């Protein structure tokens, strides 16, 4: 069979993914025309039209003006402030933080550059691992709602994703460079260390030890540059952040919730849902939501144990997906973090019910669409993108209630697929998916066949 015909057949097998990618782009086009009409991006984009680029410029402002860990109580390691000092324009930070974004375009261009770099890395990685669906899966990761939200808030996770993607990509041939890339990602977002430690289930001792050494080295160098941000300071601020009672009463905190635990805490707090549906129904729904999280997490732990017993039957990217989903579905990490989970799920072939379930949930999480349920009021607010005041209608939408469920569905699909690969009918698949050999240190990925 000619190579071009073989590739065409493979692409036709993934035609539903192309349809979803077209729909995803269509949703962005619709959002753009809505923006032209109302002056701000509609839901499910961030519901505050004036709170744009806040994460990046706030981080840079504190980095230049001091008080990072004692006043602001930052949970970011010092590398975050090294990066903002490197790319930001220092003269702009003498003013109030709300005026900085109109002055400092250095940080914005740096994030855009790394955003484009992430797109290149994801495409090359998907082209290598899943060539039949490389383009739609790249569109899902890069133009999906989680990654767009990260850039819209100028979150430093855009930089962290570069390191994380490179650590699981064939682009870096040197194991030490992959360790360093992963270490930089962990020094930007601490919770990524759980994805690293999960690799111990595959007995990847050298990789974990080398990466942890690089983590300590990067932490030490960035600490010496900034002068603050010891592991103890970061840990104490994380504890304070997690115990903050104000988060449970802030609707913005749960708008991109990744776990039903935080959503249940918010709804049973100050959110006036009970007066509409009754306390009995709310208590039942809360119990179901929290029980679902516990059951799925128990399934995840079972998978980690089974992978430890049979490490050869599960790929490192599947293990990373399980660990990533375990973290974000049990602890509130922010909506932009889900782009990493989507990236790892997209390594899976579009075969079988469980894998397809995870892929569908991942694509659904990327779609920038929402459904308004009930209006909650309206007000006049400054629309930063529009450059003027806009009249904003406020809504309760379906997104905050659906997105944690999609994350759980992704996790359920990965759990079922793992159980099938180790215990069930798919135990033979490892012989059908030969591994590439790119040197003894390069982690191996399955090669798809026609």
Q: What is the pLDDT at residue 446?
A: 45
Q: What is the pLDDT at residue 437?
A: 35
Kindly report, residue by residue over 105-154, the tens digit of the pLDDT.
Answer: 999 999 999 999 999 999 999 999 999 899 999 999 999 999 999 999 99
Q: What is the spatial distance between Cα 154 and Cα 142, in angstroms, rounded to a whole number?
A: 14
Of 26-40, 46-60, 234-248, least confident by mean pLDDT is 234-248
Q: What is the pLDDT at residue 1?
A: 53
Kindly report, residue by residue over 369-414, the tens digit of the pLDDT.
Answer: 999 988 888 999 999 999 899 999 988 889 888 999 999 999 999 9
Q: What is the spatial distance between Cα 411 and Cα 323, in angstroms, rounded to a whole number?
A: 9
pTM score of the predicted model? 0.89
Q: What is the pLDDT at residue 395?
A: 87
DSSP conformation class of 348: S
Q: What is the pLDDT at residue 444?
A: 43
Classify residue 300 by burial, with Cβ atoms within 10 Å: 0-12, 13-18, 19+: buried
Helices 106-129 and 145-152: angle between axes, nearest 10 degrees: 160
For the chain, percent of residues with pLDDT exceeding 70 = 85
Average pLDDT of the residues in 176-200? 96
Q: Calculate the alpha carbon distances from 415 to 330, 400, 446 in Å.
A: 15, 24, 18
Coil, helix or strand for 217?
helix
Q: What is the pLDDT at residue 78?
A: 95
**H or E stretch at 390:** strand 388-397
Instruction: Tell me phi and psi for residue 268, to 5 degrees.
Output: -85, 5
Q: What is the pLDDT at residue 365?
A: 96
Q: Is the pLDDT of residue 56 over 50?
A: yes
Q: What is the spatial distance between Cα 322 and Cα 330, in angstroms, rounded to a whole number?
A: 12
């Amino acid at each position: 069979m000619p190579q071009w015909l073989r590739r065409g057949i493979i692409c036709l097998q993934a035609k539903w993914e192309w349809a979803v990618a077209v729909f995803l782009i269509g949703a962005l086009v619709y959002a753009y025309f809505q923006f032209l009409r109302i002056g701000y991006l509609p839901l499910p984009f961030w519901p505050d039209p004036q709170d744009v680029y806040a994460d990046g410029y706030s981080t840079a402002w504190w980095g230049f003006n001091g008080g990072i860990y004692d006043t602001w109580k930052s949970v970011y390691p010092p590398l975050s402030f090294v990066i903002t000092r490197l790319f930001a324009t220092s003269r702009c930070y003498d003013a109030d933080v709300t005026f900085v974004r109109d002055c400092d375009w250095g940080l914005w261009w740096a994030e855009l550059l790394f955003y484009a770099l992430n797109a290149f890395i994801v495409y090359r990685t998907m082209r290598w691992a899943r060539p039949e669906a490389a383009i739609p899966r790249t569109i899902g990761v890069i133009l999906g709602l989680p990654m767009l939200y990260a850039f819209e808030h100028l979150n430093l996770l855009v930089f962290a994703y570069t390191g994380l993607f490179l650590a699981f990509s064939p682009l870096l041939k040197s194991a030490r460079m992959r360790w360093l890339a992963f270490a930089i990602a962990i020094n930007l977002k601490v919770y990524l260390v759980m994805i690293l430690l999960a690799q111990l289930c595959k007995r990847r001792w050298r990789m974990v030890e080398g990466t942890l050494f690089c983590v300590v080295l990067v932490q030490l160098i960035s600490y010496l540059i900034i002068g603050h941000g010891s592991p103890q300071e970061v840990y104490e601020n994380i504890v304070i952040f997690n115990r903050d009672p104000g988060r449970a009463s802030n609707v913005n905190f749960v708008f991109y919730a990744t776990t039903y635990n935080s959503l249940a805490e918010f709804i049973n707090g100050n959110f006036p849902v009970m007066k509409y549906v009754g306390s009995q129904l709310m208590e039942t729904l809360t119990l179901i939501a929290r029980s679902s999280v516990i059951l799925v997490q128990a399934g995840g732990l079972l998978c980690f144990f089974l992978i430890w017993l049979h490490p050869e039957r599960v790929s490192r990217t599947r293990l990373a997906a399980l660990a990533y989903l375990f973290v974000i579905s049990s602890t509130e990490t922010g909506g932009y973090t889900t782009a990493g989970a989507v990236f790892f799920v997209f390594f899976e072939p579009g075969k079988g019910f469980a894998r397809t379930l995870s892929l569908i949930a991942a694509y659904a999480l990327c779609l920038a669409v929402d459904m308004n349920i009930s209006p909650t009021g309206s007000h006049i607010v400054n629309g930063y993108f529009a450059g003027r005041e806009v009249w904003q209608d406020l809504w309760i939408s379906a997104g905050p209630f659906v997105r944690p469920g999609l994350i759980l569905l992704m996790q359920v699909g990965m759990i079922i697929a793992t159980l099938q690969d180790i215990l069930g009918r798919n135990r033979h698949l490892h012989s059908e998916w030969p591994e590439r050999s790119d040197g003894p240190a390069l982690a191996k990925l399955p090669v798809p066949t026609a």
